[in-house]
Amino acid sequence: MAALLLATADALAARFGAVTVHGELSGFSRAGSGHCYFSLKDAAGAPALLRCAMFRRAAVMVDFAPADGQQVELRGRLGVYDARGELQMVVESMSRVGTGALYEEFLRRRVRLAAEGLFDAARKRPLPPHPRVLGIVTSLAAAALHDVLSTLRRRAPQVAVVIYPSAVQGADAPAALVAALQLAARRNEVETLLLVRGGGALEDLWAFNDERVVRAVAASPLPLVCGVGHETDITLADLAADLRAPTPTAAAELAAPAQAELMAQLQGQAQRLQRALQRSLQAQSQRVDQTAQRLGQPSRRLAAQTHALQLLAHRLERALWQTRERKHERLARADERWRHALHTRLQREPSRLEVAMQRLHAQDPARVLQRGYAWVESMDGRPVPRMAQLRPGQAVRAVWADGQATAEVLSLEPLPPAE
C-alpha cells in the first residue's frame, strides 16, 4: 500500500510538476502551527473538490485574510497525503481572484434582509436572567448538542432542557429548522431557545443563511440565541437572533448563568443581609440603652415628677394669692377715685346751681320791666313781639312793672332796616 501511494505521488510530480488552478475556498482553517488546510471547489459550480495544504512558510506570504467563498488562484504541486491516501495540493502561493457564488449570494441576502429591518438592534430582546427551561433546536446526532448539554450539566444543572430535533445540513434542513422553531413557539414550554450547530464550510452552514430560516428566527416569540459554527463563522440567522454566540458552547453559557455564580451571588446577598440585620440590631440595642438611661429607675422618676408637681402647685397658689392682692389693690384705688370724684362733683354743684339761678333771675321778665321796659300783649293774653302782628284800631294791653293799661293802635310805622 505504501509503495503504491509513493509511486502515485512520484508519477503525479513527474507528470504535472508545478500547477496553477482557480477555484473557490471552502472549509478554510488555520492550525496553531500556522499551517492552513482547506478545500478548493470548482469555480463554475461543478462537483469537484481538491484538498489543499499550505504550510506556514507559504501562508505568511499571503497578503489578505483567506475566507470561505473567496475565489483564489493557487500555485503548487500535486501529491498524495499518505495518512488518508487522498490527492492533495501543497500550495506554495495564493492570490485572490474574486468572491465565490455562495458568498456573493450571502452578501445579497444580507443587504436585502437588513433593509427590511430583520437585523435591527432595536427589535432584539434581552434574555431571561434566570431561565428554568431551555429549548435546543439542532440535530440529535450533532456534536453541538453534546457540547451544549455537557455545558449545561456542568454549569447549570438546575435548568431543564427540551430538544426540538431538526436537520442542520442539506437540502431538507431549512424546512426542518423552520418547523422546529414553529413547534417550539407553538408549545411555548421554554423560556429561551438555542439554535446551534457545529462548524463547517460555508456550504455546510448554508441552511442558516436560508431566507425561510432567517425570517423564522426573526419572528420567534421566544428569545433566541444562535450559536452556529466557530467564532469566525457568521450566518444570517446569527444576525436575526436576539443574541449571537460564537459557538454552541458559548450559546449555552450565555443562556443560563452558572449555578456556582448564582450560589456565590446568593451567598453574598445573604452575608450583606446578615450584616445589615446585625447593624440594625446593634443600633436598636443602643437606642434601648439610651432610653433606659434617660428613664432611670421608676421610683426616682416618680419622685422627680412629684417634686415638679409640688413646685407647680406652690407656684399656682402664690400666683393666685398675688392675683387676688392685685385685684384688691385695684378695687381700693378705684373706690378712692370714685369717692374723690363724687365729693368734687358735690362741691361744684352748689356754685353751678347759684350761677344757673342768677342766669334764670336775669331772664325774669319782671326784672326787665323794672328797668323801664313794657310788655305788650293781646287782649287774650298772648304776647305781641312783632309789629306785624298788629293792625290799626286793635286793642292791646301794655304791662309795666307797677301796672298795666289798655291802648288802641292808631297807626303802624316800621323802622328802616339797620345798616
Which domains occur in the chain, in start order? 2-99 (2.40.50.140), 125-260 (3.40.50.2300)
* φ/ψ of residue 35, rounded to 5: -75, 150
Average pLDDT over residues 124-152: 92
Q: How many CB atoms lie within 10 A of CB 111?
A: 9
Q: What is the pLDDT of residues 281-297, one digit of tens each?
A: 888 877 877 777 766 66
**Confidence label for 190 from pLDDT (cuts 50, 70 and 90):** very high
Give the CA distances from residue 411 to residues 11, 391, 392, in Å, rounded to whole numbers and listed in that order.
193, 8, 5
Q: What is the pLDDT of residues 155-164, one digit of tens each?
A: 888 899 999 9
**Confidence label for 106 from pLDDT (cuts 50, 70 and 90):** confident
Contact 384, 377 (CB under 8 A): yes
**What's the confidence (pLDDT) of residue 362?**
67
**What's the confidence (pLDDT) of residue 16?**
74
The answer to whether the Cα torsion of 337, 340, 343, 346 is positive or negative is negative
**What's the confidence (pLDDT) of residue 1?**
61
The answer to whether the Cα torsion of 60, 63, 68, 70 is positive or negative is negative
Residue 118, pLDDT > 70, answer yes
- Pure H helices in 363-418: 365-370
Residue 270, pLDDT > 90, answer no
**Largest separation between any pair of C-alpha atoms in the chain:** 201
| Candidate ranges 82-96, 181-195, 363-377, 381-395; pick with highest mean pLDDT | 181-195
Query: Quick one: which H or E segment has residue 386?
Result: none
Residues 283 and 277: their CA atoms lie apart, in Å, by 10
**What's the confidence (pLDDT) of residue 82?**
73
Reported pTM: 0.50
Question: 107-111, 209-213, 309-313: lowest mean pLDDT where?
Answer: 309-313
Instruction: Enter the C-alpha cell of residue 192.
Output: 429561551
**What's the confidence (pLDDT) of residue 140?**
93
**What's the confidence (pLDDT) of residue 9?**
66
**Confidence label for 98 from pLDDT (cuts 50, 70 and 90):** low
* φ/ψ of residue 226, rounded to 5: -110, 120
Residue 390, pLDDT > 70, answer yes
**What's the confidence (pLDDT) of residue 419?**
61
**What's the confidence (pLDDT) of residue 116?**
92
Residue 314, pLDDT > 70, answer yes
Q: Cα 417 to chain center, whole Å?
A: 106
Residues 57 and 51: their CA atoms lie apart, in Å, by 19
Residues 156 and 132: their CA atoms lie apart, in Å, by 10
Residue 47, pLDDT > 60, answer yes
Average pLDDT over residues 147-172: 91
Average pLDDT over residues 327-340: 84
**Confidence label for 416 from pLDDT (cuts 50, 70 and 90):** confident
The answer to whether the Cα torsion of 344, 345, 347, 348 is positive or negative is positive
Higher pLDDT, 264 or 316: 316
| pLDDT mean across residues, the chain | 84
- Pure H helices in 98-231: 101-115, 143-155, 173-187, 211-219
Rg (CA), the chain: 65
**What's the confidence (pLDDT) of residue 385?**
77
Q: DSSP of 72-108, one letter per residue?
A: EEEEEEEEEETTTTEEEEEEEEEEEEEE-HHHHHHHH
**What's the confidence (pLDDT) of residue 182?**
95
Nearest to 228 by CA among 243, 248, 209, 210: 248
**Confidence label for 7 from pLDDT (cuts 50, 70 and 90):** low
Contact 374, 383 (CB under 8 A): no
Query: Quick one: which H or E segment has residue 17?
Result: none
Residue 185, pLDDT > 60, answer yes
Higher pLDDT, 92 or 409: 92
**What's the confidence (pLDDT) of residue 115?**
94
**What's the confidence (pLDDT) of residue 301?**
72
Contact 392, 371 (CB under 8 A): no
Average pLDDT over residues 293-311: 75
**What's the confidence (pLDDT) of residue 296?**
61
Instruction: Enter the C-alpha cell of residue 260.
Output: 456556582
List, in order, residues 6 or more apart from 341 with CB less than 8 Å away: none
Residue 71, pLDDT > 90, answer no
